Structure 1
Amino acid sequence: MTTPTPAERSAGQHPARPRTPADIRRWRRYLADERAEAAVYRDLAGRRTGEERDILLALAAAEGRHEQHWLDLLGDDVGRPLPGDLRTRLLGWLARRFGGVFVLALAQRAEARSEYAEEADATAAMAADEQIHEEVVRGLATRGRNRLSGTFRAAVFGANDGLVSNLALVLGIGASGASQQTVLLTGLAGLLAGALSMGAGEFISIRSQRELLEASTPAPSAARALPHLDVDANELALVYRARGMAVDDAQAHADTVLARLAAAGTTSGATEADLHASHAAEEAAGVAGEDDDLETHGTAWGAAISSFCFFASGAVIPVVPYLFGLHGTTAVVVASALVGVALLATGAVTGLLSGTSPLSRAVRQLAIGFGAAAVTYVLGLAFGTTVS
């Protein structure tokens, strides 16, 4: 088989060899996948408004151009429509019913799996499109990740802390030879104490972070004083320099702000944003700056409640066998199995949302959790042997 030249690939032609039945099957599969991917983006766009909707519809249109490429190659051999691959169909089902950052994260991984870079019958432009599509979807998914990152971080950390710490506690006490009632009470006490501690810790952490951000926000009274500053002295430049702006840049930005306020002839145009040295750069880049920081960290109550609930939901799992009257080795095995499944699930979700492999994150989560539990279990065995 002759390798196509760059010009032939760009034109989507490969005249050096005739088409084969294997080519037709492969092209039909690509056609089905492009149709399914375009449908996914249209379904996601249907659940959004504004800029995100326009971006998703543009992605669907791009997949439509790829679809036309395979239609042109197939000609009369297009045959009956085929379904897309299983992963794309599952993605479409999720997009129609849920949307959200989880589906965008899956779409990001799907774009990363494109075969066009190695496909002789795909154009170079198509291969480049798929690479750029991954970055576009990554950007959309990042917006969603930022919106939920504060509460989600507390939820994931809370659930995993509950799973690992209470499994370690229960196995350690159980291995020491304590009765089933003692292990159960210990597990429930660990659940409550840990959930309260996690909730309080998250509340203090997020509230403290917000207070630090608020402490850096210019005072409204200072903004109201701006129109009355001596234009020649222009001490506003000192504010910008104190916030890290270079001397010349600070002077130029201060001149611009004061000129605008003077032209307005009123104090109503002065805002706290005028005192931010980085405001002009943020405005030019379309970045919300401080508001994004607050959004990313989430609310203190939201993080605290999420952390409490998810720690409790994780910590109750190791206790379940003892709630049903199991004890000894049977309870240990059942508790470990239940926690193992939960660790795999939380690890996979974390990997998915972070854009990495769900499998590797799930295995890592399982190894860390079981490693910590194994240490306390061995210590419990040693302690029980010593006491007896």
Structure 2
Amino acid sequence: RPAPAETVPVFAALGSAATTSLTWNSPFAEAISVRVGVAVGCPPELELLHDGARAGAPVTVAAWGALTLPVCFRPSRLAASRAEVTVAVEQPPGVAPACGQLVWTLPVMGVAEARPGTSQGFSFKCKARSRVDKSLEVVLHGLAAVQPGETFSHELVVPAELRRELGEHDGGWLSITPVRTIIRDASEPLVFALSFAPPRVMSAEAELLVTKSTGGRWRFPMALVAGEPDLDGTVLVEASMDTSAAAPVYLHARGTEPVTFTASFTPDTPLSFTVTPARGTLPPAPGGGTPVVRVGASQPAGGGAIDYASAPLWVSYTCRDFGKVLRGKLFVETPDGQYSFDVVGRQPAYVKPDKDALSSNVDHKLSPEMAARLEAAGASRRPSVVRENIKSVKKAAPTVARR
């Protein structure tokens, strides 16, 4: 007797139907006739839809051919339904008649799910690169009773694309740990602990699947939203009118291997800012230490004075408007995270000169000798005869009264 095949599961919600297909591959090098059917005790929820099984007539399968057997599952209760589809070969080629027929067994299991919309949903929101830990209490609606010793298992379903992109981040950015999975009453909730630590901005949907050990499954939708993280710093670049300057941004990979990055500004960032390079590689932290985000001081960009290899990222600013302060935002994205910076471009602050520190090229002070000579000349000046005569006439003239 051939060994049974692996059990094929089929899932359907209460009040609906689902279909799956079983495949039997012929191991014979010539065409044969087979009879298909179901083993005794097949539950009414599972039905074999093959025409040969309904008519009871033999079915011809080509050499090395495959026989597809559709099975329909219509659950009426939250439980598992099991059946075995059989494929019997009356007289296998190359086998003695005394050996009888060969029968292959194809197991199938139908798992009923709760009606859509009866399970509550959950929403989790936090900033990227932060963490939220919550306790989930899920009530299994539609559960009639709990049998002694019955347990519940869980599974976290995340979109495949998102799992591939973030699955290696710090050992897992989304996890659920069971706290209480054995209950005594159908109205008692199961308890899980959820940890959500998104490495970057995201908006996704996931599902928590809860399966009863004796059959039955519940789906709990979860909305996962990660907003913009806190700023990693401010890049200040100062340049004089009609000149350019640049400031370095020091970033490192989170792990021990270099990672690629893309750098871009938001659409409302002025065109006076540029980032070099727009795509590149972040090295791991020196000595395997914790990555540190650091912004350096701006440097004049003229004459090749900047060594762009000294930092993985440079932000440049060209001053074209006198007296204006320009602002923008820079995002740096890696496969396992995101960084954000405010960028500010301005002219250097005006510093009032110190008069005591100024030196003049013109000698505006008299030498001691010249000052002494001018003072002596003033002291030896003769009185003016004209001035003295005018003074004497004014004193001698009589006062005439006016009428």
Q: TM-score range by the shorter chain?
A: under 0.3
With normalisation by structure 2, the TM-score equals 0.22
Larger Rg: 2
Higher relative contact order (Cα pairs below 8 Å, separated by 6+ residues): 1
